[in-house]
Amino acid sequence: MDSLRRHAPVGNDVIWHARRLHGAGLVAVGTCKPMGPPDAEGRAPCSAAWHPRPCDRAGKRPLLADYPRWAARGPSFADVESSLRVWAPCNLALVAVGVLVVIEADSPDADAELASLGGAELASAPAREARSGRGRAYVFRAPPGVNVPNGARRGTSGAVDVRGTGGLLVVPPSRHVSGHVYAWLPGRAVGDCAAGGARRTALAARAADSQASACTHGSGRRRHGRRLDHRRG
């Protein structure tokens, strides 16, 4: 391929994964890659020379500032590939755009909560494996017309993150700053199974969101002392 000759090799299979996402109708953008162990505050050197040193979001900071608009335009795979080759080495993140929604459980408790909310449809959705002490992340399509708002630390567990338009999910074969290499659950990669379950998905997302709102009127505190986010409207 001409592009292979023009650009330096990426050095891992980021492009293979990006192509798979593209084939499933999804958009991926490069994020910086951790290039060393984290300090006590979780910061680490990263692959992007223009990021803070050390980078406070090593592995997760997008390499394209205007990525939500770029993703919304539906870039060709050639566009995606050439950007990844320019940025190499880099991580890869799925961009939530259109009706795509990402729900991430940030703890085993949140995982259990999502399992009860999402039921069988959640059990068959594309899912990223949990890293140690955290939960899985799921990829869904919401029904057209259903707006799923972004929300962090939602749910009764206080650890459900919901990402609608413009949200990012770092996906395989990316490396977390801890050294963990992300993977899809066996048979549950995007492309292996449909990012479907629309009706139940939206329900799960809304339920997670409203539960958080209900909690706000209760203790108003999360585990680890994190404050609840108040829901707009």
Stretch that binds Zn ion, among 15-23, 26-34, 121-129, 204-212 (CB under 5 A): 26-34
Residue (57 or 231) nearer to Zn ion, CB = 57
- The answer to whether 43 contacts Zn ion (rule: CB under 5 A) is no
Residue 138: name the closest of 98, 197, 62 by CA.
Answer: 197
Quote the strand ranges of the chain, DSSP E.
27-31, 91-95, 100-105, 127-128, 137-141, 151-154, 160-163, 168-171
- The answer to whether 92 contacts Zn ion (rule: CB under 5 A) is no
Round to whole Å and give the CA distance between 32 and 45: 10
- CA–centroid distance for 29 within its chain: 11
Stretch that binds Zn ion, among 21-29, 58-66, 96-104, 152-160 (CB under 5 A): 58-66
Round to whole Å and give the CA distance between 155 and 211: 5
- The answer to whether 170 contacts Zn ion (rule: CB under 5 A) is no
Residue from 27, 48, 110, 114 binding Zn ion (CB under 5 A):
48
Residue from 10, 15, 29, 32 binding Zn ion (CB under 5 A):
32
Instruction: Name residues whose C-beta falls within 8 Å of residue 79's C-beta, 6 or more positions apart in sequence.
Output: none
Stretch that binds Zn ion, among 16-24, 31-39, 114-122, 164-172 (CB under 5 A): 31-39
Give me the helix-helix angle, 108-123 and 198-216, nearest 10°.
150
Round to whole Å and give the CA distance between 98 and 233: 22
- The answer to whether 168 contacts Zn ion (rule: CB under 5 A) is no
Residues 199-218 contacting Zn ion, CB under 5 A: none
- The answer to whether 51 contacts Zn ion (rule: CB under 5 A) is yes
Shortest distance, position 59 Cβ to Zn ion, whole Å: 7
Shortest distance, position 29 Cβ to Zn ion, whole Å: 13
Residues in contact with Zn ion by CB under 5 A are: 32, 46, 48, 51, 55, 58, 61
